[in-house]
């Protein structure tokens, strides 16, 4: 009788006694807390690295609540060893932290071009057609982010996007403007009826494409074939098709 009691006391889980249940609860509370902390830190650091305005609050609130809710659900419905459950919660919380941090990266910034919208008048500028681009960004970017204009000649084709410098000037209100942007050149001047696309991008200062910065690519006259491959890209506007007007 005493031998049987001793074996029962040495087990981690005692289905007939309350101490084992209390230990289960303690493990679950610790696992939920640790999972929430890890998830919050992972999500927040990821978001802050990507310069999110809500870098801390969103990942912390969502992931902490999710980790605790998961812990309570498993405690009630799943018969699982406490240590196994603790490890599971930490792993799940870590993954959720990364997902939440990544999910919050782009939806916070909306970038739009407001002008020009259909055509640019190049009558007074030669040989290059110079124009100004204005727009709006819904969240004031961090100081090391900048807005650049990309120009893609479509008829005749320029076979890629050309980054325009200097970067746009961004006002506290979110309005921004960039000038000058160019279409055409000395050997291939823009003509009446030529068409091209423009796009605004929000990038980290010193963003690169391949092994070169966007500014170096612009100075060399090279183009960017795939905007999504820019390292340091944060947000893109919609593409705006334009036509050259030249009298």
Q: Are 164 and 181 in contact (CB under 8 A)?
A: yes
Task: Pick the more confident residue, 152 or 50.
Answer: 152
pLDDT for the residue numbered 87: 64
Q: What three-state secondary structure class fits 100? A: helix
**For residue range 184-221, what is the model confidence (pLDDT) as tens digits?**
877 788 899 999 999 999 999 999 999 999 999 999 99
Which tokens sit at 16?
């007939």
**For residue range 31-60, what is the model confidence (pLDDT) as tens digits?**
666 666 666 666 666 655 554 444 444 555
Domains of the chain in sequence order: 2-103 (no CATH), 111-245 (2.60.40.10)
- pLDDT range class, residue 10, cuts 50, 70, 90: very low
Q: Quote the pTM value.
A: 0.61
Contacts 24+ apart (CB under 8 A), 34-38: 34/86, 34/89, 34/90, 34/93, 35/67, 35/70, 35/71, 35/89, 35/90, 35/92, 35/93, 35/94, 36/63, 36/64, 36/67, 36/68, 36/93, 37/64, 38/90, 38/93, 38/94, 38/97
Q: What three-state secondary structure class fits 95? A: helix
Q: Residue 32 class from Cβ within 10 Å (0-12 exposed, 13-18 middle, 19+ buried)?
A: buried
CA distance 243 to 197: 9
Q: Are 39 and 100 in contact (CB under 8 A)?
A: yes
**pLDDT surpassing 80 at residue 133:** yes
Contacts of 189 (CB under 8 A, 6+ apart): 126, 127, 128, 129
């Amino acid at each position: 009788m005493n031998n049987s009691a001793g074996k029962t006391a040495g087990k981690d889980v005692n289905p007939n006694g309350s101490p084992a249940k209390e230990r289960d609860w303690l493990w679950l509370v610790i696992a939920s807390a640790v999972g929430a902390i890890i998830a919050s830190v992972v999500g927040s650091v990821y978001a802050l690295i990507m310069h999110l305005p809500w870098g801390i609050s969103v990942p912390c609130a969502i992931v902490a609540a999710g980790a605790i809710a998961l812990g309570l659900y498993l405690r009630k419905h799943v018969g699982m060893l406490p240590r196994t459950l603790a490890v599971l919660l930490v792993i799940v919380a870590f993954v959720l932290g990364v997902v939440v941090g990544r999910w919050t990266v782009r939806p916070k910034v909306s970038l739009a071009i407001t002008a020009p919208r259909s055509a640019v008048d190049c009558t007074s500028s030669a040989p290059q057609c110079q124009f100004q681009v204005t727009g709006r960004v819904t969240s004031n970017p961090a100081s090391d982010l900048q807005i650049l204009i990309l120009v893609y000649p479509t008829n005749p084709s320029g076979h890629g996007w050309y980054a325009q410098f200097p970067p746009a000037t961004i006002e506290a209100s979110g309005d921004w403007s960039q000038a000058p942007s160019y279409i055409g050149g000395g050997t291939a001047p823009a003509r009446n009826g030529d068409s091209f696309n423009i796009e605004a991008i929000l990038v980290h200062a010193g963003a690169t494409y391949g092994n070169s910065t966007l500014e170096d690519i612009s100075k060399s006259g090279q183009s960017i074939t795939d905007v999504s491959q820019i390292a340091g890209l944060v947000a893109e506007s919609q593409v705006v098709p334009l036509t050259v007007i030249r009298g």
